[in-house]
Amino acid sequence: MSQKEKIGGRAYKNGVRLINSSFSAKAYYDENGKLQVKLSSVKRSKYYKLIKKIPILRGIVSLLMAIWMFLKEGINNPKKYWAILLILLLDLLYIFIPGSESQVTNNILNLIYFGFPVLLLLLFRKTISEVLKYHGAEHKVVHYYENDCQGDIQSYSRLHKRCGSNIVFYYLLITCTIGLFVYIPLNPLLLELLFLGIAYELIRYTPEQLLFLPYLFQRLVTKEPEEKHIRAAKAALELLR
């Protein structure tokens, strides 16, 4: 795997998955506490590389692919991913139910829509503590990889510029500043996709010094990992390399 190739990831309650353009590596602890690793190939369309070069569209496609992967896992295990499935259902209702003629009513609906996921996170933060620690470990090991695997993994930041939570932050910011106050004659679904694509581009080009606000939000969705979390994340990285 080339050192210049970007990798992404995902955290679970018992492990970490790291993904590059060709492979997906998952390292997790089984019911007996033994660390297991699994490597699988990632199938990409022949148009994928072309799409990744097109601003806005590349962000939309990347996010839709991430949602699709979550859906596949969530449908197979609804008890495990009920919160994500509920948020996606809320998203569909928000898109397809006609808005009210009253601006006040629409603002209240928007507040409920955007506030619900944050409320869930705050209410269940202690319950999903392990996921947040694996999320932090995932970011640390990606930093480690991006710095040519130098130094101690634990010494790296648990916050990362390319985290999906940063995209969510920018998406909410765009929606609350543009979507609520500027009328754009576009289908609600297309409008949401456009905002997501813009948020993706903002993350790519925002200087590190200006990311302090998204990073405040990211602190909610990560925790400082322990040794076992780092061990799993490193095992996934070694499998990719």
- Confidence check: pLDDT of 145 > 60: yes
Q: 3-class secondary structure for the chain? A: CCCCCCCEEEECCCEEEEECCCEEEEEEECCCCCEEEEEEECCCCCCHHHHCCCCCHHHHHHHHHHHHHHHHHHHHCCCCCHHHHHHHHHHHHHHHCCCCCCHHHHHHHHHHHHHHHHHHHHHCCCCCHHHHHHHHHHHHHHHHHHCCCCCCHHHCCCCCCCCHHHHHHHHHHHHHHHHCCCCCCCCHHHHHHHHHHHHHHHHHHCCHHHCHHHHHHHCCCCCCCCHHHHHHHHHHHHHHC
- Confidence check: pLDDT of 106 > 60: no
Q: What is the mean pLDDT of the chain?
A: 81
- Confidence check: pLDDT of 95 > 60: no
pLDDT band at 150 (very low <50, low <70, confident <90, very high): very high
- Confidence check: pLDDT of 194 > 80: yes
- Confidence check: pLDDT of 100 > 90: no
pLDDT of residue 172: 80
- Average pLDDT rounded to a whole number, residues 167-180: 80
- Confidence check: pLDDT of 82 > 50: yes
- Confidence check: pLDDT of 156 > 90: yes
**pLDDT digit string, tens, across residues 30-59:** 999 999 999 999 887 778 888 888 999 998
pTM: predicted TM-score of the whole model, two decimal places:
0.79
